């Protein structure tokens, strides 16, 4: 985290090497970590669209759920209760899962972004069949339960999962801190672009001087070459 804040490329490379050595020591593969989300994505999307298709048909058994609160799972919840419960469950899982994320300065702010998206998702989920939202709540609930179980030190030791100390875990950030982070990030990007533009301008400003030096110390007998370079100098100065 300190290497990223300082912006020192050498320090960042050393930090990455140390992190890689730690991962190799505990038997964690960076490739498998990157591939796993893509492996799970088809299953997640397949389940979502599969349940939605059953509700859209509709499957007759889903019209009679057996619960007075949700008598028909093929229609949207008119009370908005299920979408709100789903959004609350998402935020609870985000809070629990943040500790297991790799420590980085931007992680808490990404969590805040997902919190905002989960609240905006209430309006999206309000148009989904109740059966789909029930599936989402069940999925998030099972993931939360899994996270809580894997937090137990004895289970982590049995499975060979390293313990995460509170010092190394990500700290939560307020929305005000996230807005300030985005503002600083935008200003840094603008400064980088301005510095690139200035360096490019300085490089182009030295072109006439370099060309003039080549005519001064070049072969005097080559008159055509001198005239050609002089023409280029005049054109560059006019531009």
Residue 199 within any structural domain of the chain: no
Distance CA(73)–CA(172), nearest Å, equals 37
Please indicate, yes or no, whether residues 69 and 167 belong to a single structural domain of this protein: yes
Tokens of 157: 């030791």
Give the end-to-end CA distance of the chain in Å, rounded to a whole number. Answer: 46
The answer to whether residues 130 and 222 belong to one domain is no
Q: Is residue 135 part of a domain?
A: yes
Is residue 6, in this structure, part of any structural domain at all? no
64 lies in the same domain as 145: yes
**Whether residues 129 and 226 fall in one domain:** no
3-class SS shares of the chain: helix, strand, coil, % to 5: 75, 0, 25
Segment 229-236 long-range contacts (CB within 8 Å, at least 24 positions apart)? 233/208, 236/207, 236/208, 236/211
pLDDT score recorded for residue 16: 64
Last residue of a domain, one of 149, 173, 197: 173
pLDDT of residue 221: 46
Please tell me whether residues 210 and 168 are part of one structural domain: no
- Of 119, 54, 56, 53, the C-alpha closest to 83 is 119
Task: Tell me what pLDDT residue 33 has.
Answer: 57
Residues 167 and 233 in one domain: no
Of the candidates 150, 148, 130, the residue with the CA atom closest to the CA atom of residue 85 = 130
pTM: 0.62
In a domain, 192, yes or no: no
Q: How many domains does the chain have?
A: 2
Please indicate, yes or no, whether residues 44 and 101 belong to a single structural domain of this protein: yes
Please give the pLDDT value at position 83: 92
| Residue ranges making up the domain that contains 221 | 206-238
Say how far apart CA 30 and CA 50 lie, in whole Å.
32
Whether 109 and 213 share a structural domain:
no
Q: Is residue 34 part of a domain?
A: no
Same structural domain, 122 and 77: yes
Q: Are residues 73 and 164 part of one domain?
A: yes
For residue 194, being part of any structural domain is answered with no
Per-residue pLDDT of the chain (239 residues; tens, 9 = 90+): 454 455 455 665 666 677 667 666 666 555 555 566 667 778 888 888 999 998 888 888 888 877 777 888 889 988 889 999 999 999 888 888 777 666 666 777 888 888 888 888 898 898 999 999 999 999 999 989 988 888 888 888 888 777 766 665 667 777 788 888 888 878 888 888 888 888 777 765 555 554 545 544 444 445 555 555 555 555 555 55
Domain presence at residue 68: yes
């Amino acid at each position: 985290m300190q290497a990223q804040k300082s912006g020192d490329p050498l320090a960042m490379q050393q930090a990455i090497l140390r992190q890689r050595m730690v991962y190799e020591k505990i038997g964690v593969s960076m490739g498998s970590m990157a591939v796993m989300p893509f492996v799970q994505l088809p299953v997640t999307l397949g389940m979502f669209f599969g349940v939605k298709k059953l509700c859209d048909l509709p499957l007759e058994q889903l019209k009679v759920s057996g619960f007075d609160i949700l008598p028909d799972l093929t229609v949207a919840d008119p009370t908005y209760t299920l979408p709100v419960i789903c959004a609350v469950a998402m935020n609870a899982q985000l809070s629990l899962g943040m500790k297991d994320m790799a420590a980085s300065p931007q992680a808490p702010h990404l969590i805040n972004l997902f919190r905002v998206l989960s609240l905006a998702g209430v309006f999206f989920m309000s148009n989904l069949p109740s059966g789909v939202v029930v599936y989402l709540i069940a999925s998030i609930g099972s993931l939360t339960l899994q996270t809580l179980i894997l937090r137990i030190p004895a289970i982590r030791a049995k499975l060979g999962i390293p313990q995460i100390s509170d010092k190394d875990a990500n700290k939560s950030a307020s929305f005000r801190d996230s807005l300030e982070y985005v503002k600083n990030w935008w200003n840094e990007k603008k400064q980088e672009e301005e510095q690139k533009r200035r360096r490019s301008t300085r490089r182009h400003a030295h072109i006439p001087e370099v060309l003039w030096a080549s005519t001064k110390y070049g072969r005097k007998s080559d008159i055509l070459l001198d005239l050609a370079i002089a023409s280029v100098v005049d054109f560059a100065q006019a531009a």
